[in-house]
Chains A and B, each alone.
Chain A
Amino acid sequence: MKIKTLTIKAFGKFENKTIDLEPGLNLVYGSNEAGKTTIQTFIQGMFFGFYKPYRKKKTFSDEYEKYLPWNQFDYSGSLVYEVDGQEIRLERNFLRAKDNLFIYDNTTGKIINDQFKYDGVIRQNLPLGKLGMTSVIYNNTVNMRQIYNDTESGAQDEIRDSYMEMQNSSGIEINFKGIVRRLEEKKNTIGRSGQSKSRVGAAIRERDELRTVLKEAEEAYAKVAENQEKITLYQKKMKHIEAENEYLTQESVVKRKKELLQSYEKINKLEKENNLLAKKIKEDEIYEGFTYKTLEGLKAIQNQVERFSDQMDYIEKEMADSSEHLKTIRQKEESKRRTMAGNNLESIAEDYELFKKEQSEVEEVGKKTNIIINVVSGTITLFGMILVVLANMGLLGSSQGLENLSLTIGVTMAIVGIVGLSFGISATMKKRRVLKNKKLIPIQEEILSKYHLKDAVGFDNFYKKAVRTQKELEQMQNEGELIIVQLSRHQAGFEVLFEQRRGIMRDLERKLAEYDVEDVSEYAERCQKGQQLEELKIRFNGNLRLLENLLETVNGGKTDGGHRVWQKASPKSEELLRLGKEIARLEGENNALTDGIGLPVEIRETIKSLDNQIQACDIEIKACDAALKILATIQKDCHLESAPELNKNIGNILESITQHYKGVKIDESMKLKVVDPQGGDFKNAEQLSAGTMDQVHFAFRYGIGDVINHEMPFILDEPFVRYDKQRKAQALKLLSELSSKRQVILFTCDDDEEIQLKKLGANYHKITL
């Protein structure tokens, strides 16, 4: 590529200036402040504009301000160059807000912007985009600006930049150590948590301390809140008690209280009693249903049974008496019969008839009367008995009174009958004894002997006696028969009574079984208890009603124990005092708890602020760490690749200029080293002279040209200021050689360059500013 024409419309101090350049070596000559650097910058500006590289937004670089013309209305120019046989004209306006670039085909005059790469940030096409040339590369390679900084390290920086560019272009490496060092410095200004001196360290320490303090404060205030809740509660209680006490000390209330207490005592008593009653009632419930009416009935039945039993006993006794009587009669009969010595009265009577035909002194003694008495008496007795039986049977049917009456009459009649009967019997007996004393006189010897008698008187007596005996016997016979009749009657009566009694007793037993009692007396006992139970019940219910009334008076019936009445009723000065003391104690405790303790809410806020700071620092630290980590990984993967060929090339250039130093090297920490021909050791660049440094720089730039781009012109601004004549001649010779391949534009203020070139016989095109 060759630059042909520079047309400066307005740039720096220039206005409407045109400079034509030739292929080959162009020597641009100008005294100090003639504008050499301006021209050089103009070329750069025409190609790239003045924008900061790698920005996302268009940002003007420092040069923009520097070369802004004084009038500030126009800031533009054009540049014609030829590349690959095509002549291109660039027309650029540098002015902010109006900045633009038009690219023309200088032959056709057509705008050919669209044939070039477009940059979205600066919104312009890039004329050198195809060549991969950026302003950074341009400045680090083909455009060799004047080294203003004449310190050695400044020169070294320049060299290093060039070297970097060279390495970048050849894919070598960057200064890891330097970057790492800078990042670590950065990180140290942020500070780490372990270093308490640093900002973040202090923040972390403070925060951690505050966290402890916060915990304490929170505990203290939680306790305070708890106490406060108690205090509030106690205060409420006190108010309540005070109000109550006030009420209780009123006269009417005191009186009422007294009443209440009395009522309460009554209630207590009644409750106690009723508890006992209830217990007893429950126990005695089994006696329910035993009535006196039933008892009366049972008793009547039992009485009847007893009456029957009495009667039966009586009859039994009668029967025993009759049997005894009968037995006596039979014995008497026997002894009478013995007096007749085995003869019966008929034979004796026959004999006696014979003996005493004439003697017929027989006297009949009336006995009818006695018999009549006996018959009447017997009848009365029987009738009485019947009446008794009837009376007993009547129990079931007729009225009580009638029954009792007939019973009495019956019994009386029976007794009268029996008395009459006995009287009759005893009268008869008396008559017979009178008859025995009478004496008869029969005469007949035979008869007398037969009966072993001496005389008729004897016989008469005997006979009389026999008759009497016979009569007595007959009487006894009758009497015996009567007794037998009586006995059988008794027997029958007894049986009737027995049957009746059995029936009644069965009935009684059945009834007793029904009530589950052994006998009437047990029923009677139960009846009594049942009566008592009823009484208990009545009492219990009475108490209950009384209680209800009392409770109603005491507290509207809403009591659940009399104790409340009592408690409510007494003023509680002790409780008040106790609560007051407790409140005072709690308040004291609260004061002690919060004394010197910060509010948790404020501590929390301080912690939050610290957290914010720490977090911000944390991000910064993390960022540094992340970058450092990545750098370490990349560094590991990427070994310093020496570029022997390039180094050799540069070394040769350096040698041809200096005629002394042969090789150069940039070490890992980007320190420039030069091979000392004496001993072949590497020599630190710091040890080199400023001139030599410039020469090393030149060698780099010269050497890079091959690597970067053969096409681009090599532009140098006062490169040989610190060269000695010999070395300058060598360098110019190299440039002259290079100019056959590349356009070279050399700015200088020294005539010497031209003299040297002339000496070398080199072709050059001189432009004077």
Chain B
Amino acid sequence: MLTTFIHTGDFHLGRPFTFQQQGNYYGKNKRKELWKAFDDMIAYAKEEEVPLVLIAGDLFDSVNVLTMDIKRAAEGFASLEKTWVVIITGNHDYHGDSSPYKKVEWSSNVHIFREDVFRSVYIKELNTEIYGMSWVKNEYRAFPERSFNTIKLDDTRYNILMAHGEVTNQSLYLPIDLRMIEKKGFNFIALGHIHKPGITPGGAAYCGSPVPLNFGETGERGFLISQVESDYENQTYITSSGFNPIESRKYETIEIQIAPEDSYNDIIEKAINCDTESNRRENYYRLRFQGYINPEIQLEWINDDLEESFYYVETDVSQLEPDIDLDLLIKENQNNPIGQLLVALGKIEEPEVRKKAIIYSIEAMISEGVLK
């Protein structure tokens, strides 16, 4: 009889990360965090004697992940003597010619679905039947509906569905019709792929990525833990799911308003005041400067000045405008070469290049006294 189980996935073990500087250093640390999350999950399962762990795809980030990483994961699962582990693959670690799952031997408590149609594994001692579909290629434009429709559930068992895809109409990543799969009557639907965790009222859940993977992934991270109770009266099961958070460095995107009268030091100060020191030493920061900046201030080297106050910091000045009224300048210089120059600069196609070209030109003109 199944009492409790863990639903997780999207670990992306062995993932390469993108950082604007010292990518290898931060990348390595980030990968350590992925392993920490994995180890935490394993430790939890061991300590609480959780009888079942579901991995809803993308355990590994790619099919080229290092064998030692695969081994490490396999060893982790093998250490769970009282736990069944059921794995489906996702778009990142799909079963192909160089499937990571082929490279090492998995312990007997691990069941890996290997086909891209729905198959099931019945765990007698838990009276639980798990239906799952794995990825065997890197793209699915349609849900394997035919295979899904052949599923006949045994109501006396606890039935779980596992799939890795997107709840949407159209997608290259296995579009899932939530209403259709909910209608089938599964006791739990363990989904993967979307990195933001969430549970629908119909019993479908995205476990989310246990560690945020980029600045887009905010909010609490961890794995789902579900309790199962039998409802003898209605001859069914009651599943209650909760979130078990895993501590990791967060990604923070902070918008900082810059005013034209702000000096360079003011800006540095504003940037540093964006969060507490302890947070700054812990998390990843993307400081997004907004507003208007004195055109005489250049922020190109600002990272160097912020570095020592943060664990990791990157700056985004794309939303920052130089405090120059280009239209007015052009208008007032309609009939002279300044106007001509500014008009021509305004026609540069690439916005980043255009912005910089204008700033540099105005800077040069101010230095040359052409402009005040």
Interface residues, chain A, with chain B CB atoms under 8 Å away? 52-60, 121, 134, 136, 139-140, 157, 160-161, 164, 167-168, 171-176, 178-179, 182-183, 186, 221-222, 224-225, 228-229, 232, 235-236, 598-609, 612-613, 616, 619-620, 622-624, 626-627, 630-631, 633-635, 638, 670
Residues from 89 to 116 in B contacting A, C-beta threshold 8 Å = 98, 102-105
- CB–CB A56/B66 < 8 A: no
> Quick one: which of A168, A599, A606, A607 contacts B66, CB cutoff 8 A?
A599
Are A134 and B325 interface neighbours, CB within 8 A? no
Q: A726 CA to B102 CA in the complex, in Å?
A: 101
Number of interface residues of B (CB under 8 A): 67
Can you list 9 residue pairs at the A/B interface with Cβ under 8 Å?
Answer: A54-B371, A55-B292, A59-B323, A179-B365, A225-B67, A602-B28, A608-B18, A609-B22, A638-B340
With known contacts A59-B294, A605-B18, A136–B372 Cβ distance under 8 A: yes
B20 lies within 8 A of A612 (CB): yes
**A196 CB, min distance to chain B CBs, angstroms:** 20
**Shortest Cβ gap from B115 to chain A (Å):** 21
- What CA separation (Å) do A716 and B161 show in the bound complex? 87
CB of A232 within 8 A of CB of B356, answer no
Q: Which of B44-52, B119-127, B184-192, B326-334 forms part of the interface with chain A? A: B326-334
Q: Indicate if the CB atoms of A160 and B369 lie closer than 8 Å.
A: yes
Do A624 and B261 contact each other (CB < 8 Å), given the known contacts A54-B328, A221-B66?
no
- Cβ-based interface call for B367 (8 A): yes
CA distance A506 to B72 in the complex (A): 97
Contact A612 B21 (CB under 8 A): yes
> Which of B229-237, B244-252, B341-349 touches A?
B341-349
State the 3 A-B residue pairs at the shortest beta-carbon distance, nearest first.
Answer: A605-B23, A623-B356, A609-B23
B221 to chain A, nearest CB (A): 21
Chain A nearest CB from B112 CB (Å) reads 14
Q: Which of B14, B22, B23, B326 has the most CB of A within 10 A?
A: B23
Q: Does B353 contact A (CB under 8 A)?
A: yes
Residue B324 interfacial (CB < 8 Å): yes
Complex Cα gap A173–B98 (Å): 67
**A609: which B residues are within 8 A, CB to CB?**
18-24
Contact between A56 and B292, CB atoms less than 8 A apart = yes
Contact A161 B260 (CB under 8 A): no
**Are A182 and B363 in contact, CB atoms less than 8 angstroms apart?**
yes
Output the least CB separation between B239 and chain A (Å): 37
**Distance to closest chain A CB from B81 (angstroms):** 19
Q: Does B154 contact A (CB under 8 A)?
A: no
Assess whether B361 is interfacial by the CB under 8 Å rule. Answer: yes
In the assembled complex, which residues on chain A have CB atoms less than 8 Å from the CB atom of B357? 622-624, 626-627, 630
* Chain B residues positioned under 8 Å from A235 (CB to CB): 105
Quick one: which of A168, A599, A616 contacts B338, CB cutoff 8 A? A168
CB distance from A73 to the nearest CB of B (A): 20
Q: State how many angstroms separate the Cβ of B149 from the closest Cβ of chain A.
A: 36
| CA of A139 to CA of B371, assembled, Å | 12
Decide if B215 is an interface residue (CB 8 Å cutoff): no
A609 to chain B, nearest CB (A): 4
Q: Taking A179-B364, A602-B24, A609-B22 as contacts, is the C-beta distance between A229 and B324 under 8 angstroms?
A: no
Question: Contact between B22 and A57 (Cβ–Cβ < 8 Å)?
Answer: no
Contact of A53 among B98, B365, B372 (CB under 8 A): B372
Beyond A175-B370, A634-B337, 17 additional pairs, beta carbon < 8 A = A55-B323, A55-B324, A55-B325, A57-B259, A57-B292, A121-B325, A171-B335, A178-B364, A225-B67, A229-B67, A609-B23, A622-B356, A623-B355, A624-B357, A626-B348, A626-B354, A630-B341
Would you call B352 an interface residue if the criterion is a C-beta within 8 Å of the partner chain's C-beta atoms?
A: yes
A157 touches B24 (CB 8 A): no
A633 / chain B contacts, CB cutoff of 8 Å: 344
- Residues from chain B with a CB closer than 8 A to the CB of A161 are 369, 372
CB neighbours of A627 from chain B (8 A):
341, 345, 357, 360-361, 364
**Residue of A whose beta carbon sits closest to that of B340:** A634
Question: Once the chains bind, are B371 and A229 in contact (CB under 8 Å)?
Answer: no
> In the complex, are the beta carbons of A606 and B292 less than 8 A apart?
no
Knowing A53-B372, A179-B370, A623-B357 are in contact, say whether A613-B364 is a contact too (CB < 8 A). Answer: no
Q: Which residues of A contact B31 (CB under 8 A)?
A: 601
The closest CB in chain A to the CB of B328 belongs to: A54
Enumerate chain A residues within 8 angstroms of B259, measured Cβ to Cβ.
57
Neighbouring A residues of B305 by C-beta, 8 Å: none
Known: A53-B372, A54-B325. Contact between A605 and B19, CB under 8 A? yes
Chain B residue at minimal CB-CB distance from A228: B67
Q: Which residue of B lies closest to A55 (CB)?
A: B323
A54 touches B324 (CB 8 A): yes
Considering the complex, which residues of chain B in the window 1-53 have a beta carbon less than 8 Å from any beta carbon of chain A? Answer: 14-24, 26-28, 31
User: How long is the Cα–Cα vector from A178 to B341 in the complex, in angstroms?
Assistant: 14
Shortest CB-to-CB span from B110 to chain A, Å, is 15
B16-A604 in contact (CB<8A): yes
Chain A neighbourhood of B356, CB < 8 A? 619-620, 622-623
